[in-house]
Amino acid sequence: MSERNSNIDKLFKDYLVGYESQAPKGAWDRLNSEMRKSRSVANLWVWRAAAAVVLLLLTFAAGYFFSDYKKATNTPIALETLTPDQPETKGQEIKLPDKTKEQVAGQIKVEPNIQGDQPAKKRQSQSIPANNQILASEANQSEVVEDPSFDKAIVSNDFQEVGEDNLEIIESEATIAEEEIATTETIAPQEIPTDPEYLKQLLNPDMDYYAGLEEKEGKSSTSSWSFGPRVAPVYAYRSLGADNSGTSFNSYYNEVEDGIIALGAAINLNYKFSKRWSLNTGMYVSRIGQENNQVYAVADPGGSGMYKLSTSSGAVYINPKKFESVMIQQQVSAKDTIPGGYLVNGSFVQNLDYFEVPFVMQYKVMDQRFSVNILGGLSPGVLVNNRSYFENDGQKLQTGIVENVNPTILNSLLGIGLDYSISTKVSINMEPTFKYSLSPISTEGNTNNHPYSFSWFTGITYRFY
């Protein structure tokens, strides 16, 4: 028995180990063709990543230069030294907005050249940046000095000329050690609600909801950043424009192709630069594509050995083995305009994923806890995924890329933004959005295929101040 086994094993081993057979003709061409595609896709990824990084940097740079963050970080700092043997003034300096100063002017006592009982210390400014005129101009107008121990404020008007070298800021001894850096805005938030004008403003029903919150928290600026993740179900399809070379196929494509349902995702970044207007940007990944429910294909006239399947967004060349596994019969209908076509079982799906950095203007129509916005803008993108597959009974058979797809896209975008604030910093959002590609999807241009999509984004937004 064992010898018999050994015999049969040895028979096959002797014959088959080292056995050679002529490799099929065109095997190298097919292999080389596929490797060329993967090489070009790999190179494209590098360019796409670089483009995405540059776009993001530009976005953040624009945000930085137009935001109040820049102003805040550039606020000049008056470096001060303590000079002994000068009379000390009791009380603490408070600089108020002009309006507030006017409001309190009638209630406070003006008393120039206040001198304290204790030995004085003078804080003298050493340098003030050239672009800062605020300290000097405010000092020229008036100086509000409050003495907490006597619960009163004192305005001094005795500064007639204040230069860069002799600006004097007077402070109580107790706070000198704690406060080394003076800024132009030092309003204590707890002081503000006692102002009747401010309370009146808060009660005004027409007042901006966010502005109210900002002022309540001591923020005078309406600008702010916010960001948050969003996801959306997407219905994507395309419109075919009239084209002299492609019109004969458009009716066929419209008959056999359908839209697809997909998912979109985004990290949204919003910069609010006025009470009503803001700019939306961020990173979006959106899928477009189509589904072909009556697939037929032809042997590639180019002789590559592949099967060519034409769609309105471009041709797909399919490996013969894969194609033959889904092929059901040869097309013999009289309507068949291309001889030698084959019908295919199942549907053929094309997916094109674009990474987009949108620039969308947002206008707040209704501004309450529940706010309504109108959105409009442009969304340029780069292709990050190009695939197609046959789908039959839930099974997917990957078939390769769609040829001649435009690696970049420029979408126009319209939408409505619905925000509901669940706290001062967090809100939930819904954005029904329509997007239409201004650029055709294919570089061939036979069908003038322009993708469009409807998305319903849902997400959370976190606001910064």
Partner 1 sequence: MDQQKVIEGCIKGKARAQEELFNHFANEMFGVCIYYSPNRADAEDTLHEGFLKVFQNIKSFKGEGSLKGWIRRILINTALEKYRKKNPLYLLDDQNIDPADDIDRDEIISNISADDLIALIQELTPQYRMVFNLYALEGLSHKEIAEKLNISEGTSKSNLARARSILQQKVKAYFYVSSKKLNV
Handedness of CA 92, 97, 102, 103 (dihedral sign): negative
* 165 CB-side CA count, 13 A: 0
Q: What is the C-alpha to C-alpha distance for residues 432 and 288, in angstroms, rounded to an integer?
A: 16
Rank residues 15 and 65 by Cβ distance to partner 1 and give the closer one: 15
CB of 11 to partner 1, least distance (A): 6
Rank residues 36 and 99 by Cβ distance to partner 1 and give the closer one: 36
CB of 344 to partner 1, least distance (A): 18
Rank residues 42 and 242 by Cβ distance to partner 1 and give the closer one: 42
Q: Which of 222, 225, 141, 154 is nearest to 184 (CA)?
A: 141
Q: Cβ–Cβ contacts within 10 Å for residue 110, how many?
A: 12
Please list every residue from 104 through 123 that binds partner 1, using CB under 8 A: none
Residues in the chain: 465
31 binds partner 1 (CB under 8 A): yes
Instruction: Determine contact, residues 279/271, Cβ cutoff 8 Å.
Output: yes
Q: What is the C-alpha to C-alpha distance for residues 171 and 145, in angstroms, rounded to an integer?
A: 9
Rank residues 10 and 70 by Cβ distance to partner 1 and give the closer one: 10
Rank residues 23 and 203 by Cβ distance to partner 1 and give the closer one: 23
What is the DSSP secondary structure assignment for residue 242, as one 8-state letter? -
Q: What is the C-alpha to C-alpha distance for residues 429 and 375, in angstroms, rounded to an integer?
A: 13
User: Considering CB under 8 A, how many residues would be counted as binding partner 1?
Assistant: 34
Please list every residue from 280 through 339 that binds partner 1, using CB under 8 A: 319, 321, 324
Determine which residue in the list 18, 301, 302, 394 makes contact with partner 1, applying CB under 8 A: 18
Determine which residue in the list 4, 109, 200, 335 makes contact with partner 1, applying CB under 8 A: 4
Tokens of 281: 């940007």
Helix, coil or strand: residue 126: coil
CB of 18 to partner 1, least distance (A): 7
Q: Cβ–Cβ contacts within 10 Å for residue 286, how many?
A: 27
Determine which residue in the list 30, 216, 275, 387 makes contact with partner 1, applying CB under 8 A: 30
34 binds partner 1 (CB under 8 A): yes
> By CB under 8 A, which span of 10-18, 186-194, 282-290, 328-336 interacts with partner 1?
10-18
65 binds partner 1 (CB under 8 A): no
Q: What is the C-alpha to C-alpha distance for residues 405 and 290, in angstroms, rounded to an integer?
A: 14
CB of 27 to partner 1, least distance (A): 6
Beta-bridge partners for 434? 414, 454
> By CB under 8 A, which span of 8-16, 130-138, 142-150, 183-191 interacts with partner 1?
8-16
Tokens of 297: 């294909």
CB of 416 to partner 1, least distance (A): 47
Cα separations in angstroms, 329 against 22, 295, 305, 399: 30, 11, 18, 19
13 binds partner 1 (CB under 8 A): yes
CB of 392 to partner 1, least distance (A): 15
10 binds partner 1 (CB under 8 A): yes
Rank residues 22 and 113 by Cβ distance to partner 1 and give the closer one: 22
Give the DSSP H/E element, type plus range, for residue 211. helix 209-216
202 binds partner 1 (CB under 8 A): no
Tokens of 11: 């028979």
CB of 297 to partner 1, least distance (A): 18
Rank residues 28 and 370 by Cβ distance to partner 1 and give the closer one: 28
| Cβ-Cβ contacts under 8 Å for 417 (sequence gap 6 or more) | 362, 372, 373, 374, 375, 429, 430, 431
Rank residues 34 and 195 by Cβ distance to partner 1 and give the closer one: 34
Q: What is the C-alpha to C-alpha distance for residues 72 and 64, in angstroms, rounded to an integer?
A: 11
Cα angle, residue 436 at apex, residues 267 and 318 outer, rounded to 5°: 90
DSSP characters over 151-197: TEEEEE-------SS--EE---HHHHTT---B-S----GGGGGG-HH
CB of 348 to partner 1, least distance (A): 20
> By CB under 8 A, which span of 6-14, 251-259, 364-372, 454-462 interacts with partner 1?
6-14
> By CB under 8 A, which span of 13-21, 49-57, 113-121, 416-424 interacts with partner 1?
13-21
Rank residues 27 and 61 by Cβ distance to partner 1 and give the closer one: 27
19 binds partner 1 (CB under 8 A): yes
Rank residues 115 and 345 by Cβ distance to partner 1 and give the closer one: 345
Expressed in angstroms, the distance from the first to the final Cα of the chain is 86
Determine which residue in the list 5, 160, 244, 423 makes contact with partner 1, applying CB under 8 A: 5
> By CB under 8 A, which span of 31-39, 163-171, 196-204, 403-411 interacts with partner 1?
31-39
Residues within the interface to partner 1 (CB under 8 A): 1, 3-5, 7-24, 27-28, 30-32, 34-36, 39, 319, 321, 324
